[in-house]
Structure 1
């Protein structure tokens, strides 16, 4: 936590510098929040797909397996109770469906907690930047 500054005692160039600093911090935090939201969406999507597709009824059915984002090969589901999960930096772990579901839920919950930590900080930065703008306007 930084020290408190009486904004009315600052000169216009100092206020401008402070405003620019808050703009940068807000941009960084907003970008971080968007990245976290994207990760959470991906975990939720993976969990939904897992529960929808990996059922005993689908065993033996044909599927398209992505090799790249634009290249797919046909394959057959042999075992609908086991999947490989990318746990980070291209390390894969075999898990059964319930373990995989728990993994995606845990990851999604963790990301949600991180976003909840960022939210009040971001709101505080927005409010402070608005105060800086108001003080700058009185000095113009």
Structure 2
């Protein structure tokens, strides 16, 4: 119960939480709270990226030879669009990140978005596993803090009765 990690790691050492003082436990808990918040923010960002890649892949399915010559709205930013026409229904230009674009045929573009969704999903799963471990450690720290507080109250009560 009082071990900080259930997994042995070469760059980490196990700590018996019962040997730490209350201020040290509080500091450790605050550090874990901060890390858990960071994990939550990362998960939210990854979820948004995952949805973006999924939507982009779904949009590719709507491009057919019949679309050629049709008017569309072309996104310049997340909130600004300009009118345009579909010039080639077999090739698309995709945003591959950091203002870099690539021209691909529909199948290659679809494969790209599928790979990106898979990669982001794997990253989300990794973060969730880390978050669960950190959360478990945080719960253990809280238990040890409550135990120490209870012991202190008992000692004060016994000192008051003497």
TM-score by length of 2: 0.80
Pick from 105, 122, 125: which aligns with 1:116? Answer: 125
Counterparts of 2:77 and 2:96, CA distance in 1: 18
- The separation in 1 between residues aligned to 2:103 and 2:78, in whole angstroms, is 22
Flag structure 2 segments of 5+ consecutive residues without an equivalent.
Answer: 1-8, 150-162
Q: Which has the larger radius of gyration?
A: 2
Q: Distance in 2 between matches of 1:127 and 1:111?
A: 24
Of 98, 103, 117, which aligns to 2:112? 103
- In angstroms, what is the RMSD of aligned CA positions? 1.3
Match of 2:76 among 44, 67, 74: 67
Distance in 2, matches of 1:6 and 1:103, equals: 47
Q: Does 1:36 align with 2:46?
A: yes
Q: Does residue 22 of structure 1 match 2:42?
A: no
1:3 aligns with 2:22: no
How many residues are aligned here? 139
Which piece of structure 1 moves more, 67-76 or 116-125?
A: 67-76
| Higher mean C-alpha displacement, 72-81 vs 92-101 | 72-81
Higher relative contact order (CA 8 A, sep 6+): 1
C-alpha distance after superposition, 1:64-91 (max 9, x if no partner): 1223334322222121111111112211
Q: More deviation in 41-50 or 114-123?
A: 114-123
Return the TM-score normalized by structure 1.
Answer: 0.92
Runs of 5+ in structure 1 lacking a partner? none
